[in-house]
Each structure stands twice: as C-alpha cells, then as structure tokens.
Amino acid sequence: MEFKLFLTMMYVKSILVVHWCTRCAETEINMGKMMGAILPGNSTVELKEFDIPKPGHGQVLVQTKATTICGSDIRCIYREHVGKGPEGYIPGTIAGHEPCGIIVEEGEGLKRFKKGDRVIVYHISGCGVCNDCRRGYYISCKSEFRQAYGWQRDGGMAPYILCEEKDLIALPDELTYKDGAQVACGFGTVYEAIEKVGVCGNDAVLVTGLGPVGLAALMLCRAMGANQLIGVEMSDYRIELAKKLGLVDYVCKPGEDALDHIMNATKGRGVERAFDASANDSARHLAIQATREWGKIAFVGEGGTCTFQPSPDIIHGQKTIYGSWVTSLWRMEELVERLVRWNIHPEELITHEFALSQAAEAYALMASGECGKVAVTFE
C-alpha cells in the first residue's frame, strides 16, 4: 500500500514538474526578451538581449535544452571570422549550430510536429527545392536562401530558437537532449562517412584525431562491429578519455614511428577503413598509408591540407578516398533510430557542461582542446 502511494506521489510530482516548466516557458515568452551568445571573432563571447521570436507559417519556437559546441565554431567564428559562403558568420547572429529542445509554440501550417514534441535541429535550413535539398542534403544547398543555424540565422546559444518545421528531427524518449544535440552535427557527420565506406566485423579501423568527432567515429564503428579500433592523437587528455570510454584497442601519438606502430598492431596488414577527424596534413597522410590495399579512407575533419603521392599512396594500392560533409535529413533520422537500438548515448562524450551565463568559459575550454565535448545546457 505504501509503495503504491509512493508511486502515485512520484507520478503526480512528475506531472507538476512538466506543467511548471511549460508555465515557465509561457511566462518567459510573454515577457518577450531573452539573452543570447554571439561570437565577435576575437576569442571572446558576448551576451546580448534579443527579442523572443514568434513563429510564422511552417515554423516553430523551440525551447533550447542543450547546445553543444562544434570544432568548426572555434575554427571559423570564435577565434576569428574566417569562413566564407556556407561557413560565413553574420556578425551579431546568435551562435550554436548543435541545438536540441522542445517545441513550445506553433506557427500556422505545420504538417508533422506540434507543441510538446522533443526535437533535434538539423543545423542547415536549405531552400528545399534544389537537387541537393530534394536528396535531403541541406548541407550542400547552394541557394542564396540557404542559412545555417548559428552562422547566418540565430542558433541555439539562447533559451529559444526559431526553426523551420522541415529542419526538425524527432528526438525519441530513449535519448536525452544532450544526446540529440550531438546528432545535429558531429554524430551525423561520422555516420554519413561510415555509411559511405562501410564498416563491419571484418574491419580494423583507424581514426586520426580523437576530438569529439573522432571519438564519435570510434563509438559508432564499435557498434557496427569493427573488430579492432586504433586511434592516433597528440593530446594526453583525449587519449586517456578514449581509453576511459573503452573506445580504442590501441592508441599512439603522431610521429615518425606512428605508421610502424599501426602496422605492428595489425600484424603488418594495415587497416581496412580509416577516418581522419584531425584536418592535419600529416595525419591524413598517415591514414592513407596505414590503409591496406583495396581499403577505404574518409576525410571528415574540416580545413587543412593533404599531401600525398597519388601512385604509391592511392593508385597502386587500389584505395579510395571519400570526402564526407555532415549528412542528410533521412540518414540523420536513421541514425537516431539506430542509437536507440544500439543503446548508444552520445552524451557520454560530454566532459563539461555550462550555463549560458558561462558561455565564455565553455568556448574557451573547447578552444583549448583539453576536453571532450562541451555543452551549454538550459534547465
């Protein structure tokens, strides 16, 4: 009897919490103002006041629950505004292109989502009518109407974000908001690359660069059956993190003997699949050299260069290099389904969490590289 009473009380409490959160959101929206983080481009963060947007036709207002920081935010915006075209940041735009939250207000004309739905925001809003968009690859949209959240339109470093319904992915109850935030970019990027090269139980896999994207690659390759996971990373912190999470069978630092270490670990054969998440010239070359004949390599790390000799490094070994940039809407939905099936939680890669008021600390830590994934959460 006492146990039944306890369960009843807990159920009522949970209903009251949800109701309280909804009422809080409604109160904030009615007040009409919110704080948001912008990136001036000089390794600082500024918090400014913004109007809470009102959703129009085909739009929703999402209450942000978690936004994670991406390496491209650091490379192209935080340190300085170096990006152009798709990577061009409009000064004064609210940062954050990896948001996840709950719909709190509906615009007219919605076709699928509704108030109360938990959603991931695909971080590019494409035109919707070009060939790339019709394939689901908003990331590759070249229309003047293309906008990236956190780059050319306001992103997730604020309590609320205005979203197009077409840009949303449903977040299952089994996944947390911090899981969903990473699906929006990093995990989606890696999953696309893995699907391009194909990974199975026959494969030894090399990942160069064990930042959040590299760690995500290891996590997904493990789930897809790879029988040997090898990492190359220069940061002691990230090497220990990869070991702690049980994501590597063998790891070494870059250097003249790195190739020898990898070949020894694979009994002289090399790896069947390699992923570069470092954007480093020598690391990319290492990934190519460490891949055995008929193997496949995917570059997912943004920026940098790559120097290699086509004949001995690629042609004579019958190797294939793939470039992979984020993913499509349909494949992101597929990834979410598989994360639930595999019981994988990207949240495990988050080593530090901050409130919005601490956004400056969050970006500075991510820029240092002495961390896993960094999240700004809203509770």
Question: Could you read off the pLDDT of 311-344 as tens digits, one per residue?
Answer: 999 999 999 999 999 999 999 999 999 999 999 9
* pLDDT, position 24: 60
Beta bridge partners of 105: 61
pLDDT average, residue stretch 358-368? 98
* pLDDT, position 29: 75
At residue 355, the 3 state secondary structure works out as coil
Q: Mean pLDDT in the chain?
A: 93
* pLDDT, position 378: 97
DSSP state, residue 186: I
Quick: pLDDT tens for 11-45. 444 444 445 455 566 667 777 999 999 999 999 99
Q: Is the pLDDT at 184 greater than 90, yes or no?
A: no
**Architecture of the domain defined by 189-323:** 3-Layer(aba) Sandwich (3.40)
Please count the CA atoms within 13 angstroms of the CA of 170 that sit on its side-chain side.
12
Alpha carbons 161 and 2: distance in angstroms, whole number: 44
Contacts of 134 (CB under 8 A, 6+ apart): 128
Q: Domain-by-domain residue ranges, the chain? A: 11-171+345-377, 189-323
Alpha carbons 356 and 376: distance in angstroms, whole number: 6
* Phi, psi for 189 (deg, rounded to 5): -60, -45
Query: Hey, what are 44's tokens?
Result: 């600082």
Element (H, E) at 190: helix 188-197
CATH code for residues 11-171+345-377: 3.90.180.10
Alpha carbons 335 and 341: distance in angstroms, whole number: 10
Closest CA to 100 of 53, 67, 59: 67
Alpha carbons 346 and 70: distance in angstroms, whole number: 14
Q: Is the pLDDT at 180 greater than 60, yes or no?
A: yes
* pLDDT, position 17: 43
User: Do strands 228-232 and 250-252 pair parallel, antiparallel, or not at all (unpaired)?
Assistant: parallel
Alpha carbons 197 and 195: distance in angstroms, whole number: 6
Beta bridge partners of 321: 297
* pLDDT, position 86: 79
Closest CA to 68 of 230, 216, 199: 216
Closest CA to 297 of 192, 186, 206: 206
Q: Is the pLDDT at 124 greater than 90, yes or no?
A: yes
Q: Is residue 186 within 8 Å of 210, Cβ to Cβ?
A: no
Closest CA to 366 of 356, 376, 379: 376
Alpha carbons 231 and 243: distance in angstroms, whole number: 10
Q: Do domains 11-171+345-377 and 189-323 have the same CATH topology?
A: no
Q: Is the pLDDT at 194 greater than 90, yes or no?
A: yes
pLDDT average, residue stretch 240-248? 98
